[in-house]
A and B are shown apart, each in its own frame.
Chain A
Amino acid sequence: MPDIAFVKPSLPRSGALVLPLPEAEGDAPPALTGLAAEADRAAEGAIGRALEAAKFRGRKGQSVTVWAPGGGPSKVLAIGLGKEPGAEAAEAAGGAMAPALASERNALVAADGLAPALGASIALGALLRSWRFDRYRTREKEEDKPKLERIEIAVADAAAAKAAFAPMRAVADGVFLARELVSEPPNVLTPAELAERLKGLERLGLEVEVVGPKEMKRLGFGAFLGVASGSALEPRMVVMTWRGAAKGKRGQGQAALQKPLAFIGKGVTFDTGGISIKPAGGMEDMKWDMAGAGAVAGLMAALAGRRAKVDAVGLVGLVENMPSGTAMRPGDVVKTHSGQTVEVINTDAEGRLVLADVMSYCQERFAPRLMVDLATLTGAIIVSLGHEHAGLFSNDEELAQRLMAAGKAVGEACWRMPLGEAYDKGLRSEIADMRNVGGGRAGGSIVAAQFIQRFVRDTAWAHLDIAGTAWSSKDTATAAKGATGWGVRLLDRLVAEHYEA
């Protein structure tokens, strides 16, 4: 991961020079000003000529590399920002430059013509796109490893850019935590190990409580423990608390939480499907069936990292779903924390069982102001929407609109999906309060959301089905293919926009 520094504009003597350039009016290359103009002069006009020859117009997504133009830099990379660039364009430019600079050690970004906040967004994009997971590579060739050690962003007001970047850095670290947890293999990242790593977040000032199976039994988590019963690994529930709201004069220590925001994550560290076992093809993907928990952990780290002025709790249910002699069977009836009983028709619809207990417990203990759950819940959401949108279900119009807007702003888009009585009927059981699946594939994501809604009391609630967005098979603007950390930035934005004192 490269270091990021904000510096005063001055020409580098070596390394790469990056020119993020807004689109020009008419059919001409963007004018070179400030540091870019200085570099062009030092190169005796070679940069300007190269951009002209390459028909570079500064359009979004356009880029041109000029090798050793003279005057110091080993290469100059011009990246288009499009017209009237905002944060999203700046992030995308930063993201685009990261792979292009992988073979350099140092890079200087000439952002002196842009607002300091856009300079910070370029740095954020570069950072997000630079993240990679190489813990298990032992024989990688030296030339294949990214070399980039330091990115300097030259801006007119370095102090302002630095101040703008500080909270972004905290959020990026939250995204990286989520991506790392999602990338870790299931033999390493067991429920206990994941809980242990979350315990480590105490260093950021979070309170972290880890709950084991004995306590869960006492609490009446019959559904959660049913899922856990097939695995040799013990389940965990982790409760992370961030007390950031201004507490007036009482200020110090353990002031009571005032109706915190609550975030719930599904954390199935590996999902075989249990007795209703999945087919072998693609089962390895099921290591990321804890991406909801990963996102909640990343969010809590981000809130603590940037000292967000809000009270928030993050609860994750960590468990492995395995078939075995002790595993829950199709046909079993389990009793949830809420007292409602569930006839388990399909043991592969386990995520909703975990969420049911954790969400019910959360509401009883914290009486939250709102509750958002994230879960890689259904394959049906991928068939419904693909990979560009997560499915958004909500009982609260205002919360739903805020999530849609926040998602749009940070490039983690949600698509609203319906709820309704007609879908809920599919959950009727002959012998219990409900079944855990409907009659067939039809409306599978909606029926799952209806199930979860049965465990929502009088709380403003939203459910994000992230099965299609937690992992990407293609590079995106700000993430290499693999774990995306989807949800951390969306929820951080939601909190920052609407719920901070």
Chain B
Amino acid sequence: MPKVAFRRAPPDGPHPVAVPVAEGTPPPSRFAAAAQAARFTGRAGQALLLHAPLPALLVGAGAGASPADWMRAGGTAAAHLPKGESEGAAHLVLDARGRSAAEAAAMAAGALLRDWRFTRHRTRDVQPGLAQVTLLADDPAAARAAWEREAAAVQGCLLARDLVSEPANHLSTRHFAARLEALAAHGIAVDIWGRRRLERAGLGGLLAVGRAAEGPPRLAILRWRGTFDAPPVVLVGKGVVFDTGGISIKGAKGMHAMRADMAGAAACAGAMLALALRRSPAPVTAVLPLAENATGADAYRPGDVLTLFGGRTVEILDTDAEGRLILADALGFAAATYRPRAMIDLATLTGAIVTALGHHRAGLFGNDAALMAAAAAAGEGVAEPLWPMPIGERHREDLRSDIADIRQCAPAGRGIPDACHAAAFLSAFAGDVPWAHLDIAGVEERRAADALGPKGASGFGVRLLDALIAARFEEPDHHADAPRPSA
């Protein structure tokens, strides 16, 4: 990460100063003529590089109404900073004078999010990122304090992006577990379970899904103690390091994208890092099932009946609907072991959610209206938007099995609401714990660069989880006595 500094006046040197301008407000008078000539209006995403009277980069802040608008302005500045031999290339100066501390911090966050790049596997012509971001602020100390909070979420997000970007040969279940163990350095207690403990605890879904791969299944349990004594909030993330589909093998087209099928687990790991970096008072535990869904002589089959955590039997129809099996184990295990205040799971779960909501919103399901509303509000605030989706009676009926307690999905056919089916399946394992399920398929990677990131891994969910926990779970349970509304 580049160094982030705060000061009152611009540093000396040839660096252009990036000046965010909200739509409908006039740019600083010395740039007014140029802005008008170039039809710069302050629209979100707009950028105008000026060389005279002094080097400057005007960037649009859109409505300028929310911190997210200023965050996008910071990102737009990072994206349009001139590249090349000039000395200014690695140093972004952002003018946040006249803005609040929170808005200044948001601008810095936007710049870092946009500037992130994954260069670990490039050996030639590596484009270096920003070395430094300097914020000009009226009250540098206040802005720095706001930034330190924000920086935690940014670092968490970038960790998630790094993990999602890693190809499966570099991020096997073993590698992934090792990366998670490294989080212990930040005060997170990490426990990695292997096959024997999974067998003893009865996580039959995770064991079956991970059975055919050379890299063994793992359950990673990350604990952040917080400062008060209460049952934890539990985060569950799907960590399929590569998904071939198993025996129900996927088509070859686009299969490479399945390296990102662990984006849910990566988001939870990123959120844990964010909480630890900002010393969150909330006790939070992440339960991350890790597996590779491979084909092989020992692979689980369509038609098999598995016994998942808690003894519930599941008829398998499609080995490519593996995510819900390992999540069901993790949710059931967490509900029984921790009696959590709430459980939130994230998973790149279904293609159906992409058909439903496209690449702009993740699907939100759950059993607790208040928790779902809080999650949706957190997402809007950090530009990781959700949309509520239904779990209906018919969706549950569709999962009745002829020979087991439940079947994992409906038989393949036209027009199957598979995202709703998957959520209905998971709801059986969440039991009566307040629970929200985020189907993040379609948003785990950006299909094109935007103001908050380049094309590729988005880290979707980290900043949302961080904001949700900050807004709702950093005091001892004040919701405990309230009646729980049903979704």
Binding site for B on A (CB under 8 A): 281-282, 379-380, 382-389, 415-418, 420, 422-423, 426, 438, 441-447, 468
Contacts and interface: CB of A to CB of B under 8 A. Distances in A.
A383 B416 contact: yes
A96 B339 CA distance: 42
Nearest to A441: B355
Contacts of B388: 416
B420 interface: yes
Given A385-B420, A423-B358, A442-B442, 8 more contacts: A380-B355, A382-B414, A383-B417, A383-B418, A384-B357, A415-B390, A443-B360, A446-B358
B418 to A, nearest CB: 7
A386 B355 contact: no
Given A282-B414, A388-B394, A442-B442, A383 B360 contact: no
13 contacts: A282-B414, A379-B415, A380-B355, A380-B356, A383-B356, A384-B356, A386-B417, A386-B420, A389-B390, A415-B389, A438-B358, A442-B359, A446-B358
A17 B358 CA distance: 54
A422 B355 CA distance: 15
B361 interface: yes
A166 to B, nearest CB: 33
Contact of A386 (B360, B387, B394): B394
Given A423-B360, A443-B357, A445-B356, A388 B390 contact: yes
Interface in B363-416: 387-390, 392-395, 398, 414-416
B424 to A, nearest CB: 10
B354 interface: yes
B360 A379 contact: no
B352 interface: yes
A281 B412 CA distance: 14
Closest 8 CB pairs of A and B: A443-B358, A384-B356, A382-B415, A386-B417, A442-B358, A388-B392, A422-B360, A383-B355
Contact of B357 (A386, A388, A446, A468): A446
Nearest to B450: A422
Contact of A442 (B354, B389, B392, B419): B354
A446 B387 CA distance: 12
A391 to B, nearest CB: 9
A420 B392 contact: no
A438 B356 CA distance: 13
Contacts of A386: 392, 394-395, 398, 417, 420
B355 A443 contact: yes
Contacts of B354: 441-443
Nearest to A282: B414
A384 B416 CA distance: 8
Nearest to A445: B356
A417 B393 CA distance: 19
A418 B416 CA distance: 20
A168 B477 CA distance: 50
Contacts of B414: 281-282, 379, 382
A447 B392 contact: no
Contacts of A416: 388
Contacts of B360: 420, 422-423, 443
A62 B312 CA distance: 28
Nearest to A443: B358
B411 to A, nearest CB: 13
A415 B389 CA distance: 8
B211 to A, nearest CB: 30
Contacts of B352: 383-384
A380 B357 CA distance: 10
Contact of A388 (B355, B356, B393, B419): B393
Contacts of A422: 358, 360
Contacts of B420: 385-386
Contacts of A382: 414-415, 417
Contacts of A281: 414
A282 B413 CA distance: 11
Nearest to B390: A415
A420 B358 CA distance: 12
Contacts of B358: 422-423, 426, 438, 442-443, 446-447
B390 A442 contact: no
The winner among A416, A426, A442, A446 for most chain B CB atoms within 10 A is A442
B392 A389 contact: yes
Contacts of A426: 358
Interface string B157-178: 0000000000000000000000
B355 A384 contact: yes
A159 B414 CA distance: 50
A447 B360 CA distance: 12
B361 to A, nearest CB: 6
A442 B355 contact: yes
A218 to B, nearest CB: 39
Nearest to A446: B358
A384 B359 CA distance: 14
A8 to B, nearest CB: 39
Nearest to A279: B414
B321 to A, nearest CB: 15
A387 B394 contact: yes
B111 to A, nearest CB: 22
A447 B442 CA distance: 15
Given A380-B356, A418-B361, A443-B356, A468 B390 contact: no
A444 B418 CA distance: 15
Nearest to B356: A384
A385 B361 contact: no
A443 B417 contact: no
A320 B395 CA distance: 33
Contact of A468 (B361, B395, B415): B415
A308 B418 CA distance: 41
A383 B357 CA distance: 11
A385 B416 contact: no
A319 B418 CA distance: 33
B242 to A, nearest CB: 23
A177 B199 CA distance: 60
**Residue among B352, B358, B390, B420 with the most chain A CB within 10 A?**
B358
Contacts of B356: 380, 383-385, 417, 443, 445
Contacts of A415: 389-390
A388 B392 CA distance: 7
Nearest to A389: B390
A104 to B, nearest CB: 30
A447 B359 CA distance: 12
A385 B390 contact: yes
Nearest to B420: A386
Interface string B62-103: 000000000000000000000000000000000000000000
A378 to B, nearest CB: 9
Contacts of A445: 356
Contacts of A379: 414-415
A444 B355 contact: yes
Contact of A443 (B359, B393, B418): B359
Interface string B424-439: 0000000000000000
A489 B291 CA distance: 50
Contacts of A383: 352, 355-356, 415-418
B387 A418 contact: yes
A74 B346 CA distance: 59
B370 to A, nearest CB: 18
Contacts of A441: 354-355
Looking at B355, B392, B416, B417, the one whose CB has the most chain A CB atoms below 10 A away is B355
Nearest to B398: A386
Contacts of A442: 354-355, 358-359, 442
A10 to B, nearest CB: 40
Contacts of A384: 352, 355-357, 389, 417, 419
A466 to B, nearest CB: 13
B196 to A, nearest CB: 41
A438 B394 CA distance: 30
Interface centre among A384, A386, A415, A468 (most CB of B within 10 A): A386
- Which of A384, A417, A418, A423 has most B Cβ within 10 Å? A384
